[in-house]
Amino acid sequence: MSKLADLLQLTLQGIAPVYGNEAEPADDLKAMQTAINAIRLHWLGEGVLQLSPAPGDDRGLSLLLSAGIHGNETAPVELLDQLLKRILMGELRLRCRLLVVFGNPQAMRQGVRYIEQDLNRLFNGRHKDSQGFEAKRAASLERFAADFFRGANLKKSLHYDLHTAIRGSKIEQFALYPFAENRLHSRAELKRLQSAGISAVLLQNRPATTFTAYSYAQLGVEAITLELGKARPFGQNQEINLQKLQSVIERLIEGDESHPPDAFLDGLQLFTVSREIIKQSDHFRLHLSDNIENFSPLKQYSLLAEDGDMRWQVDEANARIIFPNAKVQNGQRAGLIIVPAAQAI
């Protein structure tokens, strides 16, 4: 079997696939192509593999699955590795166009969140204002995604970006659904998320610089970020249960795009962003416990954060906090104040 069948090991070892026993540096971006069981494999670059179904098997869906945008979030990487191997061993029948992306190979190899700067803050063109490895990688990933979805049926195009969180969460598995002008969030996609084990969805209401925000706003595809538990090293993810998500992704891979009945949306918790907390300087202070969990309630009228003369007070009723992190770089988001969504989908 071609070395392309083991994308994760190629990525972690930093080598490019070759035919034979020799290896080349992974930064030599020669496009490698082969076929396994009539499935065409096209290695586009380090950590990026496109698969095309056997003739006659294509049901028209274009599916992008990404993980490892943060290098220490390993459970989603292991899931994609398992799915890829099952496809190439013939245990899953590929009936869609599939692009598998391991986002930040250098950070994955070092077991760290990022090398120089947070890759998931550099999309939607933000990389043009920056330099370094992650900025170049964001530009490359945008190009790979744009090329993959170009000419595809947008009604049958989907991008799941799989993550785990730095901290624990009162709602362990949740999703972030990006924003775009003049576009509504899809009830059908929300139903699919709930069937995948997602308990809450943050319906974003402003532009963002994440990978899925780029796919959703710029490419016009359905794109959703999934947070699937707490970040752990490779081989230590036994406590994270991804069976429901795996089942949904397997059905998509095999061409089944059906949704649960309408009533299945009942019970899914929907939130929206009230405010972003942006760290402006080294004087920033977040008045929360270091081990506070995502979705923790915030006491109304309490002081949440300070940055010099700037103060964030919790004015909102029923507010919660997600992604609190006082250690982000200046100019970046140090947390989100979220509230229950005012309207049902």
- What is the Cα–Cα distance from 206 to 216, expressed in whole angstroms? 12
- What is the Cα–Cα distance from 281 to 313, expressed in whole angstroms? 18
Measured from the Cβ of residue 91, the count of other Cβ atoms closer than 10 Å reads 10
- What is the Cα–Cα distance from 272 to 270, expressed in whole angstroms? 7
Residue 118, φ and ψ in degrees, nearest 5: -65, 115
Amino acid at 156: K
In 80-156, DSSP assigns E strands to 97-102
159 is in an annotated binding site: no
Measured from the Cβ of residue 191, the count of other Cβ atoms closer than 10 Å reads 19
Is 222 one of the catalytic residues? Answer: no
Planar angle of CA 142, 39, 146, nearest 5 degrees: 15
Token output for 342:
């005012």
163 is in an annotated binding site: yes
How many helices (H) does the chain have, and how many strands (E)? 7, 18
73 is in an annotated binding site: yes
Selected catalytic residue, list 142, 172, 227, 293: 227
Amino acid at 340: P
- What is the Cα–Cα distance from 17 to 30, expressed in whole angstroms? 9
CA dihedral 245, 256, 218, 330 (to 10 degrees): 0
Amino acid at 177: Y
Q: What residues act catalytically?
A: 227
Could you tell me which residues are annotated as the binding site for Zn(2+)? 70, 73, 163
Could you tell me which residues are annotated as the binding site? 70, 73, 163
